[in-house]
Amino acid sequence: MKSRDNVCTEPPRRILIECPKWLNSNALALRILYAWAKEPLWPKLETPVALPIFIALPELRTTFANYFEKEILYKRPNNPFSNGLGDFAAVWNSMASLGNKLLFVLDGFESLFCSINGKRKPFSQDTFDLLNGKLFPDSRVILISAADNHQLAEILPLFQRRITYEGLTWGRSASLLGGEQWCGTPNPLMDSIMSCKYLRGIARTSLGCLALSSIYDSCGLPTEEIEILEAVLNCVACESSPSNVAELGRLALFCLKTKKSVIRSSDIRLYCSDINAKIFGCLDRASLHGKSSKKKGECVYYPICPGITELLAANYLASLVNRPGLLAAEITGLSFGDEVEPDLIKVLTYSMGLLSTHAYVLLSKLTPLWLSPQAVFSLALAGGDSPDNMNALCDLLGISKTPTISPLEPNPIWVQIRNTPTEMFGWGMALKSSNCALKNLEWDYQIEKEITLDFSDGIDSFLDALDENDSVSTLKISSLLEHDLKDNDINNIASYISRALLKPGLVNFELILTLLEEDPPAMKLQSVVSSICKSLAQQIKLESLLLDMGLCTSQLVQICSKLEKCTHLTRLCLPHLRSERGAISALATLLSRRRSLTNLSLPSCWGGRDDPPSSSGVSMGSGSGSSTGTSGLIKQSSLTGAPSPRNYTTNIFSSLPRGVALPATIFGRSATLPRQPLDCPPNKRSSDSVISKTWYPIPACDGCAHTSGTFHDLFYVMRDPYSKINSLDLSKAQLSLEDAMCLGETVRVSTTLNLLRMEGASRLSEILPAIIGAAESNSLQLMCLSSPRLSLDDIAIEMIARSLANCLSLRLLILDGWSFRIESEPTILAVRKFLSVTSLREIGLSNCRLHLPAVTSESGATKPYECMSMVVLRLAGAQVSLAEQNILRGPQLISHLRKFESLREIDLSAPAKSMIGGTMSSEFVIDDRSITNFFHFLSAHCRLLNTLKICNWVLQLDEPVRSLKTVSRYLRKCCICHMKVDGIAVLEASKKTPIENQFIQVLTTSLEKLRWFGISLAGKSDDQITDIGKAISYFKSFEIDIRLTDSTIDSARLLAQTINLEVTFTRT
């Protein structure tokens, strides 16, 4: 090896030369041997090679010595070892003394990987020993291969150099194309080839150069890839019959599927009827060197240039357009795993181009393949945008009008697209189809550093198609804006948003722009706001609008002025809004003028709270401290008819617990009730506070602007009798104490508010006034207060229970993630009373923690909780901790629900095992007794139960046969028709072997009314999937919901084949 400094280094002993599959590697090996034979000392700068040995690996059957002796050397009298040179074996073994003067040239390593499953066939151990240095360790080795990188992974560490051989250099190609006439002067032929990458690829081979010269002389050079290959094929194999082309194409497709880089003459005799047909002019013939191959007349063929093999295979597929059964069989055989090989994708692309307006026939057969959206769109674009092709594309994407999508579909189809040219053109083609039934579309816009012509044309094509489409009614645009964003980029986004917002028939529009800049200027996205305002003036049929872009006051005022003209607007969502007084006032004005607005969402709004320190000395701002206790929850003006706190005198009621000695506030009054001594009796509890009594203050507002909040104007308008707001979302919003009290009054007096969401609260004071206000509400039906940061004691629990018990209109309550600690008996009685009188139909307590330090397992089971109205109970991940450190989870909770007589659905799933959405609690293992008691309870006390979810349970059964028989007997008495067991694990305790299939078979055969079954294949082996499929196949009259999270398409195919189902697979 010679460096740029003319320093010669030690040459590598092992060299790998990687060739494309269309190159004649045999010719390259012969050129290396010719270089040695031509030069007496080769190589010149290093120890010359004394003896090169060529080994054709496709012809190798046993050892190198046997191959060389039997296949290469002649028989007597031309055999040199029969003329006194000694025994061949002795001479072969003595070659090790040549050291680095011995050179091995190995060709055809890729032939070892031509099996259908892509696995390497067993090959001679001499090959590996030679590369590994066990055989002739000092010799030099050159391995020529056209194998893929993953096939070479095992032997790559054995080489010191990897060389990529790409064919002729441009200088050599130029000399073949132009001869001595070119010499750098202007030449139309050379200029045409230089300007087209497909033509440059053809010029990589000698025969390709000759074909290009002939094409140029006859009719000029085309520029499209498939037209170039067709011209080459017509040049070298003119007047070939279609049948001969199809026969060779079938052979080419077989070679591509089996990863064969060469075609043997035996394959041609097997597939082709005429071995002398003109079509073979597109192949480059090479000789085999073994005597056995020569005797049989064997030889190998390589394509004369890249793309010829794929074009021949595409011609064969296109010839099957009138034979749909055979075409479907050939398409199904293209995939042997999760992905289709790139060479086969190119075959399909060429086939689509050849079929043109009839490409829909092939496009409709691609369902069994595991194709990415980019591959689907590239194929569709190759076939053209004829009406039949566009309809077939919609069918393949699953967005066609036939078959119709059920109106009861729980998960409507959402399509997310990115602004790559292929996706833009492809989705534009699908949206133009009259068969398109897509309703929901999300565009993830990514800013390109350098905008190309294809990028701009793709977006224009997509937006034009979106404007013509009449099915899309919901459009969502999202983008992540980087730090170095230029004004031109923002203007481009603004123009695209404006065009999208003007789409006819648009009902719901969502815009999410996220700035990575930590403190961006308030008016940075003003051009986007201006374009939105301009389009809103013409989009008067808009019903729902979401703008998540950190709007400031002036921008929101502009938008609200335009929304007043949107007479159909019913839902407005403004996440991350800067809730300044001007912005909230603009919203209030909009609500007062646009009475059609019924849903308002302000999640994660910020920047509008300016809390002074509260009377307890703790700021009411967004804190991360504990949420226990009730200090500072209710302010003095909450009493009916009470004056402003600024006018209060001393010794007036405060919500702080007794015994807390704090200095007087700035208003000159005491911050607490008359205090008791700090040395309280040891049995003193926090529930002894006056706030835990049956009387409690009603949340109220001063009637003027808040000093520490900005939401007064908005909540005041919502209390108007003419207001039609029925849904309010303030999840993770920054509410001051005054804002919370004002919201509580709104909840209390509003006659239209049906839904209130306040998820993610960090302090109880943010949501408690709303809960208390719900006690007098006649319209509130749903409250979602999920938060993992709230921890409640007796005082707050009792207050909340009494308030919710008085809310007769409430039907759904979600308290996911809450932690409760009950120490006193009155609190338990208040909870029991709440459950007995409530009108709730559904309650969510997923991942809740209930601590009962004064309750034992014996005393807790004597008197179960009673609730006649509850229909749906969600207890996924919930835990109950009793006095003796006993934790109740999953099936252990069911015994406390025997008085829930109306229960139809219950979720007792365990937490997910993965870190995402999982839990840090220890794994709960269910034994034989627990599982049999659980199903016995269901059969005896839950006769109306029809939906059961027990996901992620871990069952370890000591006597699985006996336990499962008992479970089966109990299940026959149940009315369960919906069952969900995602992530369940059933083990035989003694052997630790999985027996999920036995448990599933018990479920499917014992539940006579079962018609919906959900199970996940994640983490299951092929044997487990097969067993599960056999278990499911025993009961065939229900719908199966199979979750493929973290699974593969092969798992789904295996399950479907086991159940004998004909299904289709799509990427989601």
In the chain, the domains with their CATH numbers are: 14-166 (3.40.50.300), 192-317 (no CATH), 473-502+511-569 (no CATH), 922-1068 (3.80.10.10)
Query: Average pLDDT, stretch 772-795?
Result: 94
Q: What's the pLDDT score for residue 598?
A: 94
| The CA-based dihedral angle spanning residues 426, 428, 431, 433, taken in that order and rounded to the nearest 10 degrees | -80
Which of 656-670, 877-891, 930-944, 973-987 shows the lowest mean pLDDT across its residues?
A: 656-670
**Cβ-contact 531, 494 below 8 angstroms:** yes
**Cβ-contact 757, 743 below 8 angstroms:** no
Q: What's the pLDDT score for residue 861?
A: 57
**Cβ-contact 39, 32 below 8 angstroms:** no
Which of 74-88, 105-119, 158-172, 741-755 shows the lowest mean pLDDT across its residues?
A: 74-88
DSSP per residue, 765-823: GGTHHHHHHHTT-SS--EEE---TT-EE-HHHHHHHHHHHHT-TT--EEE-TT-EEE--
Q: What is the number of other CB atoms lying within 10 angstroms of the CB of residue 8?
A: 10
Q: Who has greater pLDDT, 207 or 628? A: 207
Please give the DSSP secondary-structure letter assigned to residue 201. H
- Largest alpha-carbon pair distance within the chain? 129
Q: Who has greater pLDDT, 953 or 619? A: 953
Per-residue confidence band for 972, with pLDDT thresholds at 50, 70 and 90: very high
Contacts of 775 (CB under 8 A, 6+ apart): 748, 802, 803, 804, 805, 806, 807
Is the backbone of residue 934 left (phi > 0), alpha (psi -120 to 50) or beta?
Answer: alpha
Per-residue confidence band for 879, with pLDDT thresholds at 50, 70 and 90: very high
Query: Average pLDDT, stretch 547-552?
Result: 91
Per-residue confidence band for 886, with pLDDT thresholds at 50, 70 and 90: confident
CA distance 942 to 837: 20
- At 640-662, the pLDDT tens digits run 333 333 333 333 333 333 233 33
- At 414-442, the pLDDT tens digits run 899 998 999 999 999 999 999 999 999 99
Per-residue confidence band for 667, with pLDDT thresholds at 50, 70 and 90: very low
CA 677-680-682 angle, 5° bins: 170
Q: What is the number of other CB atoms lying within 10 angstroms of the CB of residue 628?
A: 16
Alpha helices (H) in 406-477, listed in sequence order: 421-431, 453-468
CA atoms within 13 A on the CB side of 937: 17
Q: Which amino acid is at 503?
A: K
Residue 703 has pLDDT above 60, yes or no: yes
- At 1032-1048, the pLDDT tens digits run 877 755 566 666 655 67
Beta strand 14-18 with 161-164: parallel, antiparallel or unpaired?
A: parallel
Q: What's the pLDDT score for residue 665?
A: 36
From the list 245, 205, 202, 206, the residue with the least C-alpha distance to 223 is 202
Query: Average pLDDT, stretch 7-14?
Result: 74
Q: What's the pLDDT score for residue 915?
A: 39
Tokens representing 64 are 């190198």
Which of 375-379, 896-900, 959-963, 1018-1022 shows the lowest mean pLDDT across its residues?
A: 1018-1022
Q: Who has greater pLDDT, 30 or 913? A: 30
Tokens representing 397 are 């994407």
Tokens representing 975 are 């009315």
10 Å CB burial of residue 69 (0-12, 13-18, 19+) is middle
- At 797-822, the pLDDT tens digits run 999 999 999 999 999 999 999 999 99
From the list 759, 756, 762, the residue with the least C-alpha distance to 743 is 756
1014 backbone dihedrals φ, ψ, rounded to 5°: -115, 130
Query: Average pLDDT, stretch 913-931?
Result: 69
Per-residue confidence band for 587, with pLDDT thresholds at 50, 70 and 90: very high
CA distance 174 to 201: 13
780 backbone dihedrals φ, ψ, rounded to 5°: -65, 125
Whether a cis peptide bond, with omega within 30° of 0, leads into 403 is: yes
Contacts of 560 (CB under 8 A, 6+ apart): 586, 587, 589, 590
Per-residue confidence band for 81, with pLDDT thresholds at 50, 70 and 90: low
Q: Who has greater pLDDT, 581 or 404? A: 581
Contacts of 640 (CB under 8 A, 6+ apart): 698, 700
Percent of the chain with pLDDT over 70: 83
Q: Is 258 in a helix, a strand, or coil?
A: coil
- At 974-1003, the pLDDT tens digits run 999 999 998 899 999 888 888 988 999 899
Strand partners, 495: none
Q: What's the pLDDT score for residue 464?
A: 95
Contacts of 617 (CB under 8 A, 6+ apart): 662
Q: What's the pLDDT score for residue 691?
A: 38
From the list 427, 429, 455, 454, the residue with the least C-alpha distance to 441 is 427
Q: What's the pLDDT score for residue 780?
A: 96
Q: What's the pLDDT score for residue 185?
A: 59
Contacts of 418 (CB under 8 A, 6+ apart): 444, 446
Query: Average pLDDT, stretch 734-741?
Result: 89
Residue 490 has pLDDT above 50, yes or no: yes
Q: Is 619 in a helix, a strand, or coil?
A: strand
Query: Average pLDDT, stretch 608-637?
Result: 37
Q: Mean pLDDT for the chain? A: 82
Per-residue confidence band for 141, with pLDDT thresholds at 50, 70 and 90: very high
Q: What's the pLDDT score for residue 1012?
A: 84
Query: Average pLDDT, stretch 294-308?
Result: 86
Calculate helix-pair angle for 242-257, 342-355, nearest 10 degrees.
Answer: 160
The helix or strand, by DSSP H or E, that contains position 302, with its residue range, turns out to be strand 299-303
Q: What's the pLDDT score for residue 1015?
A: 85
Which of 109-123, 221-235, 295-309 shows the lowest mean pLDDT across its residues?
A: 109-123
Residue 260 has pLDDT above 80, yes or no: yes
Render the burial of 268-292: b for 16+ CB within 10 Å, e for the rest. Answer: beebbeeeebebbbbbbebebbbee
Query: Average pLDDT, stretch 50-69?
Result: 86
CA distance 597 to 350: 54
Which of 65-69, 121-125, 455-459, 694-698 shows the lowest mean pLDDT across its residues?
A: 694-698
Q: Who has greater pLDDT, 1053 or 859? A: 1053
Residue 115 has pLDDT above 70, yes or no: no
Residue 708 has pLDDT above 80, yes or no: no
Residue 622 has pLDDT above 70, yes or no: no
| The CA-based dihedral angle spanning residues 75, 78, 83, 89, taken in that order and rounded to the nearest 10 degrees | -50
Q: What's the pLDDT score for residue 633?
A: 43
10 Å CB burial of residue 871 (0-12, 13-18, 19+) is middle
From the list 489, 488, 502, the residue with the least C-alpha distance to 419 is 489
Which of 139-143, 184-188, 227-231, 584-588 shows the lowest mean pLDDT across its residues?
A: 184-188
Residue 619 has pLDDT above 60, yes or no: no
SS3 content of the chain, % helix, strand, coil (to 5): 40, 15, 45
Query: Average pLDDT, stretch 925-941?
Result: 93
pTM above 0.85, yes or no: no
Per-residue confidence band for 6, with pLDDT thresholds at 50, 70 and 90: low
CA distance 872 to 947: 9
Residue 349 has pLDDT above 90, yes or no: yes
Alpha helices (H) in 219-341, listed in sequence order: 225-236, 242-257, 265-271, 291-296, 308-319, 324-332
Query: Average pLDDT, stretch 159-165?
Result: 91
Contacts of 510 (CB under 8 A, 6+ apart): 474, 475, 476, 477, 478, 545, 546, 548, 573
10 Å CB burial of residue 83 (0-12, 13-18, 19+) is exposed
Per-residue confidence band for 625, with pLDDT thresholds at 50, 70 and 90: very low
